């Protein structure tokens, strides 16, 4: 029987897992991948809030000064601050999580990275969606939803479960990948 289960003479066993890949990061085998992730993730979030807030504050100051110079006409631009802030946050999270480091600036500072549950790096749409689902879950379900990370071995939060992502220690993952490659040869 072939691996697809449609006959053939390859002699491979029948696969009944629907082609689903196993988790790439096992906390029982590699607990160091998840050690201290929740605390460092919280600090990374604060750093990212600063990265997001500083350009918005500069834009608000610019609009306020521009409004003074134009005798109040420039203050009409204040309505752009909210939509521009949302767009800025989506672009920031999408490009940073979808970039080559799979991490925001705060996550890089805290030596973290986001991966899919099967180990692939993140991409733009997943990064932007991760931010949206995080803010919706916090808004609707209160910040107590963050307690989910205390009760699972991979330290995943609710939005990580929904999107199939996991946050791991970057340097440990890189070291584990390099040592696995060396052992293979």
What is the Cα–Cα distance from 158 to 152, expressed in whole angstroms? 11
- pLDDT confidence tier of residue 179, bands split at 50, 70 and 90: low
Average confidence (pLDDT) over 27-55: 95
* This prediction's pTM: 0.83
Q: What is the pLDDT of residue 23?
A: 83
Torsions phi, psi for 23 (to 5 deg): -60, 135
What is the Cα–Cα distance from 117 to 5, expressed in whole angstroms? 26
pLDDT exceeds 70 at position 112: yes
168 has which bridge partners?
113
Outline where DSSP puts E strands in 30-128.
Answer: 112-116
Mean pLDDT of the chain: 88
What is the Cα–Cα distance from 180 to 175, expressed in whole angstroms? 8
Q: What is the pLDDT of residue 17?
A: 58
Q: What is the pLDDT of residues 52-66, one digit of tens each?
A: 999 999 999 999 999
Average confidence (pLDDT) over 145-171: 93
- pLDDT confidence tier of residue 5, bands split at 50, 70 and 90: very low
Average confidence (pLDDT) over 13-32: 76
Greater confidence (24 vs 176) lies with 24
Q: What is the pLDDT of residue 15?
A: 53
């Amino acid at each position: 029987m072939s691996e697809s289960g449609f006959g053939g003479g390859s002699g491979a066993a029948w696969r009944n897992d629907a082609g689903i890949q196993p988790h790439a990061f096992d906390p029982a085998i590699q607990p160091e991948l998840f050690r201290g992730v929740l605390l460092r993730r919280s600090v990374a979030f604060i750093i990212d809030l600063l990265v997001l807030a500083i350009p918005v504050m500069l834009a608000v100051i610019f609009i306020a000064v521009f409004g003074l110079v134009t005798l109040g006409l420039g203050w009409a631009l204040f309505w752009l601050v909210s939509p521009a802030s949302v767009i800025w946050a989506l672009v920031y999270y999408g490009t940073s999580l979808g970039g080559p480091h799979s991490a925001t600036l705060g996550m890089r500072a805290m030596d973290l990275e986001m991966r899919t549950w099967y180990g692939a790096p993140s991409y733009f749409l997943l990064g932007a969606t991760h931010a949206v689902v995080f803010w919706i879950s916090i808004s609707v379900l209160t910040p107590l939803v963050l307690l989910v990370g205390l009760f699972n071995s991979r330290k995943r939060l609710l939005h990580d479960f929904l999107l199939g992502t996991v946050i791991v220690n970057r340097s440990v993952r890189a070291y584990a990948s390099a040592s696995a490659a060396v052992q293979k040869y």
